[in-house]
Amino acid sequence: MIRSVVCGYGAALPKRVVTNQELEKSVDTTDEWIVQRTGIRQRYIAGDDETSASLGAEAARAALANAGLTAADIDVIIVATSTPDNTFPATAVNIQNRLGMTHGYAFDMQAVCSGFVYAVTTADSFIRSGQAKRILVIGTETFSRILDWNDRTTCVLFGDGAGAIIMQAEEGTGEVADRGVLSAKLRSDGSHKEKLYVDGGPSTTGTVGHLRMEGKEVFKHAVGMITDVIIDAFEATGTTADDLDWLVPHQANRRIIEGSAKKLGIPMDKVVMTVDQHGNTSAASIPLALAAALDDGRIKKGDLIMLEAMGGGFTWGAVLLRW
Among 215, 231, 263, 270, binds ligand UT7 (CB under 6 A): 215
Q: Give whichever of 59 and 113 is closer to ligand UT7, judged by the CB atom.
A: 113
Does position 317 interact with ligand UT7 (CB under 6 A)? The reply is no
Does position 219 interact with ligand UT7 (CB under 6 A)? The reply is yes
Report d(CA 149, CA 316) in Å as an integer. Answer: 27
CB atoms within 10 A of CB 174: 9
DSSP string, 88-131: SS-HHHHHHHHTT--SSEEEEE--GGGHHHHHHHHHHHHHHTTS
Check if 250 is active-site. yes
Does position 7 interact with ligand UT7 (CB under 6 A)? The reply is no
Q: State how far the alpha carbon of 297 is from the alpha carbons of 291, 294, 303, in Å.
A: 10, 5, 12
Q: Give whichever of 153 and 205 is closer to ligand UT7, judged by the CB atom.
A: 153
Considering only residues 117 through 156, tell me which ones interact with ligand UT7, judged by CB under 6 A. 152-153, 156
Among 39, 115, 311, 313, binds ligand UT7 (CB under 6 A): 311
Q: Please state the closest distance from residue 36 (CB atom) to ligand UT7, in A.
A: 9
Report d(CA 3, CA 182) in Å as an integer. Answer: 8
The closest of 268, 314, 321 to 112, measured between CA atoms, is 314
Stretch that binds ligand UT7, among 123-131, 211-219, 231-239, 257-265 (CB under 6 A): 211-219
Considering only residues 247 through 286, tell me which ones interact with ligand UT7, judged by CB under 6 A. 252-253, 256, 280
Stretch that binds ligand UT7, among 12-20, 29-37, 47-55, 169-177 (CB under 6 A): 29-37
Report d(CA 306, CA 38) in Å as an integer. Answer: 22
Report d(CA 283, CA 317) in Å as an integer. Answer: 12
Check if 280 is active-site. yes
Does position 216 interact with ligand UT7 (CB under 6 A)? The reply is yes
Exposure of 107 in the CB half-sphere (CA atoms within 13 A) = 8
Q: Say if residues 241 and 6 touch (Cβ distance below 8 Å).
A: no
Q: Give whichever of 169 and 310 is closer to ligand UT7, judged by the CB atom.
A: 310
CA angle 134, 233, 183 (to 5 degrees): 25
Does position 94 interact with ligand UT7 (CB under 6 A)? The reply is no
Among 57, 59, 166, 222, binds ligand UT7 (CB under 6 A): 222
Exposure of 164 in the CB half-sphere (CA atoms within 13 A) = 33
Does position 81 interact with ligand UT7 (CB under 6 A)? The reply is no
Distance of CA 23 to the CA centre of its chain: 24
Q: Please state the closest distance from residue 211 (CB atom) to ligand UT7, in A.
A: 10
**Of 20, 94, 113, 210, which is the active-site residue?**
113
Which residues of the chain form contacts with ligand UT7 (CB under 6 A)?
29, 33, 37-38, 113, 152-153, 156, 215-216, 218-219, 222, 252-253, 256, 280, 311
Active-site positions read 113, 250, 280
